A and B are shown apart, each in its own frame.
Chain A
């Protein structure tokens, strides 16, 4: 059956698109609005972008977010790579291991964040980057794990055997065959983890300390003082960075195939 031929499919599809993207489009448009009231359009202006670039707390929050996302992306990708390689062959309890790895996808984040906060306070970890980085690594693991795992499962097992047959030991086989073939998956996993960390509010909110505010946390606290066009501008920049990253990694993945 051809779904596109069903009555109203096109209309419903358009409706869903509008529903999904109208808020984002409005936000982007108003970030270029000269008027201070975020709901009244007067004329085009880049003022708010100039303002946020000059604002030291925003610059600090941006820097914190990028450092945190990079650390969470690298850390979770390395762990996910190890986990994917470790669960390649069958063993008892493999299903359980994979379920535990993917648990952050379904566990309520607020519960995990509060639990982590209590643990860190109990063992004396200082709130801030030192607390946020390990917590972000943990919940980013499944996002890095899934693309790597998919790539590994799709790999022809005789390629590694062929390398060993041609006198490559395990390390050389990994470096010259497995890793290059996994590369698109690793990149996709890193990007997803990076973007997920960049976007996180809850965990950062609980675990950030003075001087380690991230952008989402900054936006949240700023918004309590009222919605301003600055927030629209920051949000637009975050959106562009995230989309650009995902698109780049997607294109790169296609190129390598």
Chain B
């Protein structure tokens, strides 16, 4: 079980959190014309890197804030966590 530092609450065990996927994904702007390919990239396609991964987590059983985590997908090492509006 990972130990994740919520930027608002501090270190907590993984079972308080839920995973929210790749933090690099940007939703296309509302109302903007996007090609099928761009839209599919946003909805379906994700990289599956071995190593450093920037991802979103949600402190569901805590402060209910979404935040960013940089984690090594092969060792589970967590390098840093930050609030959504902070650079990681």
Binding between chains A and B = no
Q: Which residues of B contact A (CB under 8 A)?
A: none
